[in-house]
Structure 1
Amino acid sequence: MHLNETDTLLFIGDSITDAGRDRTDSASLGSGYVHEIARTLRARTGTGAGPAVVNKGISGNRVYDLESRWTTDVIDLRPTVVTVKIGINDTWRRYDRGLISPVDEFEACLNRLLAETARTLSARLVVITPFLLPVTPDQEGWYEDLSPRTDAVLRAARGNAAHVVRADLALRRAAEEREAAELAPDGVHPSPLGHRLIADAWLAAADSLTPDPPR
């Protein structure tokens, strides 16, 4: 996926994407993986310039929340690359609030969003898988819900020709050498190191793809 300074990269998702951004400032990227990606891309140009980067993450969002704001927060902004990171709250809410997000409905919703974006914008699509690094015994049980949800994310990505960033695998590999809490203190929200690993996985996925044809 060749990127240039005419591209607009839009990232949308939950708190992992939000990462404390100032929602009153459209230029705010938060302190997480989106910021790290933008910083790296600017550094690569050698001039401090780079593709425009927009962060539309909102803490607490599930996939249905994305759908309710997709037109204003994605379509109307006309990005050329759209990255979606969603799913962990659809699982988490089952265990802390008893709020069920059936996997088939989750998949259908994500599929609609990706299909609409490809159809309306001809944008390149990137999907980051949800992940969990259990730090408490009860979180181990979350995989009953999260594993099939991750499979659903992968199916929706494949069905819409989206590039996939396997954040779940990248963080799992890192957790073989470090304590899980060092990467995500509560098992869900990444530490600065965790965010850097997600950014590196996104950049590696982008770098490994062949350049897009001229537009």
Structure 2
Amino acid sequence: MTISLRDSATVLFQGDSITDVGRLVEPDSPLGNGYARLAADRVRSARPAAGITFVNRGVGGDGVSDLRARWREDAMDIKPDVVSIMIGVNDTWRRYDSGAVTSVGAYENDYRAILTQVRDRLDAQLILIEPFLVPVRDEQWAWREDLDPRIHTVRRLSEEFDATLLAADGLLNQAARAAGGAEYIAGDGVHPTPLGHAVLAEAWTALVGL
């Protein structure tokens, strides 16, 4: 499914640190320095006269419950025409680094709640980006037990809400193989390198017909 990105549309990027990428600490980089900015730059270059507005509200460290808690201010009040969401890896990561468990059921409930608000209150198109993991340490392979059900949840929700899906997990793991190792795509297995962000941005812009 391709997103129809009309002239003068407002595009909202939402998520955690993978979307944030410095936008909160660098006032001169409101789109951050990751895939969101790269995707916006590609769109602007291809359609310079379109006047499309890009907004980044990613917050480092967020899980899906954090996203839900700030959804009105950081999503609904913006009244975007396109909403792009990537959330979930922190819900897995916190289980392994601090013992904070978010069940898959709770993850799905919170994710469904924010998507329902978009569907019911905004005339907006949705892009759902899977959470992903590109293991660089042997112990990270065990994380898949927790993350894979969240990926499947996002895929189901994309069907339920007629959203466009960016299947990032397979994409980035394949890119890691092509690049010669996971560390070339995500240095810690979670946060993309510049190359990893470029791969995401290219895939994102393909979803809007570029």
Q: TM-score range by the shorter chain?
A: over 0.9
SS in 2 for 1:10: strand
CA displacement 1:36-80 (0-9 Å, x = unmatched): 011001100245x64100000000000000000000000011000
- Structure 1 residue aligned with 2:139: 138
What per-residue deviation string (whole Å, max 9, x for no partner) do you get for residues 76-120 of structure 1?
110000011001000000000000010011011101111111110
Normalised by the size of structure 2, how large is the TM-score? Answer: 0.94
**Runs of 4 or more above 4 Å deviation:** 23-27
Report the count of equivalent residues. 207
Equivalent residue runs for 1:64-213 within 5 Å: 64-178=65-179, 179-207=181-209
Q: Which runs of 5+ in 2 are unaligned?
A: none
Structure 2 Cα separation of the partners of residues 91 and 207 of structure 1: 32
Q: C-alpha offsets along residues 195-215 of structure 1, whole Å, 9 cap, x if unaligned?
A: 01011111112228xxxxxxx
1:51 alignment partner in structure 2: 52
How far 1:24 moved relative to its partner? 7.8
Percent identity between matched residues is 42
The change in CA–CA distance for 1:204 and 1:17 in structure 2 (over 3 A counts) is same
**Alpha-carbon distance between aligned partners in 2 of 1:12 and 1:157, rounded to the nearest angstrom:** 16
Go from structure 1 to structure 2 and tell me whether the alpha carbon gap of 1:169 and 1:105 turns closer, same or farther (over 3 Å shift). Answer: same
Contact (CA 8 Å) 2:21, 2:32: kept in 1 or not? Answer: yes
Compute the RMSD of aligned alpha carbons.
1.6
SS at 1:12 equivalent: strand
The answer for unaligned runs of 5 or more in structure 1 is 209-215
SS of 2:177's partner is coil
Which deviations, in whole Å up to 9, do the C-alpha atoms of 1:4-63 show, x marking residues without a partner? 33100001100000011136849710100000011001100245x641000000000000
